[in-house]
Structures are given as C-alpha cells and as structure tokens.
Amino acid sequence: SGEQVPALVLFDTYEPEEFARVMKREEKFHEPLKRSVLRRIVRWYLKRDKPVPLRFRHFYIIDTYNEATYRYDAGTYEGPLTIFKAEGSAGPGDLGWNRRAQGEIEVVTVPGDHYSMIREPHVETLALELARCIDKGLAKQAVEAV
C-alpha cells in the first residue's frame, strides 16, 4: 500500500460491474445447470486431494475467477492505467474501467483474442507494448523525483 509503481497494467480484463453485465447478457438457461454439475465434479476431486482432470481444470479456473470477481470491490484508482485489450475482445473500449480509474486511461489494442494475445505470434507485440508502457512510467517517475 502506498508504493509507487511505474505502471498499472491490465490484460484484457473487464471492470467487475462490466464483467457482471457481460456475463448476464451471455448467460443461457443451461449455463447455471452446467456450472452446478461441473462445480460438484471439481469439488469431488478437491475434497479427496486428487488432481482435477485437465478437461475440468479450465472450468475450475474460470469459475473461481467469476466468484472472486463477483465478491471483490475494486474501489477507485487515481493514477494512470494502461489496458491491453485483445483485438477480438467485445465490450466498451476501456472495458468499463472509466468507472474506477480517475486518472488517464490508455487502451492499447494488441493482436489476438483473450487467450492468444499471450502466445506466439502475438506475445511479441504485447511484450514490446508492455516494455514501452513501463519505460514511459519509469521516465515519468524519474522526472517527478527531480
């Protein structure tokens, strides 16, 4: 708390309220039932200290993320924010973060979708843009320190 960082960066991440809106729009009748069944399967493995099979692991990660998102209150942020948004992402340009960020918001669109933006061949573009963002933040910190 209170630490200075050169940049606050989000990777193709919806603001929690925007995420809830998107999920409600996309949710179908069968989704709650499917989640309930899959959740019970995953819990069965976890209670027995058994590894969750790969075919259920992605669901478990997404389900855990969804639960955390619904429970977490992100508050507000006063500094600059950079959002790396995948070309294939839906939603508003800043993914809803203008509700939370009070400083400048820079949205950098990178090739790929939510998953492929961090893999070859797209990760090189992401890495170059991230380095630029960090360098910009470090330069700003250096000027402010003088």
pLDDT digits 0-9 by tens, 29-70: 557 777 788 889 989 999 999 998 888 888 888 788 878 877
Q: How many CA atoms lie within 13 A of 8 on its CB side?
A: 16
Q: What is the mean pLDDT of the chain?
A: 87
The more confident residue out of 12 and 39 is: 12
- Single-letter residue type at 139: A
pLDDT digits 0-9 by tens, 62-72: 788 878 877 87
Q: Which of 1-5, 17-21, 127-131 has the lowest mean pLDDT?
A: 1-5
The structural domains of the chain, with segments of one domain joined by +, span: 9-14+76-145, 20-71
The more confident residue out of 58 and 83 is: 83
Sort 86 into a burial class: Cβ within 10 Å, 0-12 / 13-18 / 19+: buried
The more confident residue out of 95 and 36 is: 95
List the one residue out of 69, 56, 64, 72 whose CA is nearest residue 24: 69
- Residue 26: phi, psi to the nearest 5? -90, -15
Q: How many CA atoms lie within 13 A of 90 on its CB side?
A: 7
pTM of the model: 0.72
Q: What is the distance between the alpha carbons of residues 78 and 17, in angstroms, rounded to a whole number?
A: 18
